[in-house]
Amino acid sequence: MQQLTQNWQDVFIGFSILGILLFLIFRLLQYLLPILLKNKKALNRVKRFLPVIETVSWLSFLSWYSIKFYAQYNIYTIVILLAILIIAFWVSRFLIKELIAGVLFRGSARFYEGDRIQTSQYSGTIKKFHFDTIEIEAGDGQIVFIPYSKLSGEITIKNESDGQTSAHTFQIKIISNNEAENISGNIKSYLLSLPWSSVTSNPQVTLFNQEGEKFIFDVTCYPVDKSYAKKMEQKVLDKFGV
């Protein structure tokens, strides 16, 4: 019995020490990554998948020690094993749900710290991505922590970060009996109504050439992200072009 008790103590001490070390390692990584990785794209890529690595590490750690505790066949280890299983259940029920939602959100929407986002319920500047929440600063300066699952399935608009907006220029041919100024105003209004249009830079529409009712306009739009430029151009061509 003494030997079993000693084994249980050894396993428990190892469990405690390795658990603390694992926690400190991932907290230290969060602090060191911005120092070690100067490339912003590489840093964001690592930050995006770090929660996945941490979750897998914790699940592996708990699974391994669950087996070691179970092998002791001791009343103390049974109690600890039950506690680990309960903790694992609640972690899988809440944190893993948020983890998956966070990976999907960040992977599909290409959001980064400093971007401004707007949804039906929230709007503000992204300050930090946490394990299970996204931290944003609202317009009034209030810091809000939003669970990723709250953003899942919502239409999220990405407004440009400082210096990110880039102009996109194209030409459009239009046949109309309206005045050039009216056509120009309609195109501007339509561009501003698109969800990918910058809210800080107004589109420019200038007359390039006119022959009777045939107009050619130079159009300059400002998408919130350059990946939306062609999509905006196509929308305008489909609605006004010939």
Q: What does each of the 242 residues of the chain score in pLDDT, given as a tens digit?
A: 444 444 667 777 888 888 888 888 888 887 787 778 777 667 767 776 777 787 788 778 877 877 777 776 666 666 766 776 776 666 666 666 666 666 666 665 567 777 777 766 777 777 777 766 778 877 666 777 777 777 765 555 555 554 445 678 899 999 988 888 999 999 999 998 888 887 777 889 999 898 888 999 999 998 877 778 888 999 999 999 87
Q: What are phi and psi of 179, to 5 degrees?
A: -70, 150
pLDDT at site 35: 79
pLDDT at site 3: 44
| SS3 track for 157-218 | EEECCCCCCCCEEEEEEEECCCCHHHHHHHHHHHHHHCCCECCCCCCEEEEEEEECCEEEEE
pLDDT at site 217: 92
Report d(CA 33, CA 36) in Å as an integer: 5
Q: What are phi and psi of 127, to 5 degrees?
A: -95, -40
Select 168-240's CATH number: 1.10.760.10, 3.30.70.100, 3.40.630.30, 3.30.565.10: 3.30.70.100
pLDDT at site 125: 77
Give the position of tokens 């500047």: 125
pTM of the model: 0.41
Report d(CA 99, CA 55) in Å as an integer: 8
pLDDT at site 174: 92
pLDDT at site 235: 92
| SS3 track for the chain | CHHHHHHHHHHHHHHHHHHHHHHHHHHHHHHHHHHHCCCHHHHHHHHHHHHHHHHHHHHHHHHHHHHHHHCCCCHHHHHHHHHHHHHHHHHHHHHHHHHHHHHHHHHHHCCCCCCEEECCCCEEEEEEECCCEEEEECCCCCEEEEEHHHHCCCCCEEECCCCCCCCEEEEEEEECCCCHHHHHHHHHHHHHHCCCECCCCCCEEEEEEEECCEEEEEEEECECCHHHHHHHHHHHHHHHCC
116-159 carries CATH number 1.10.600.10: no
Report d(CA 52, CA 100) in Å as an integer: 8
pLDDT at site 173: 93
pLDDT at site 172: 92
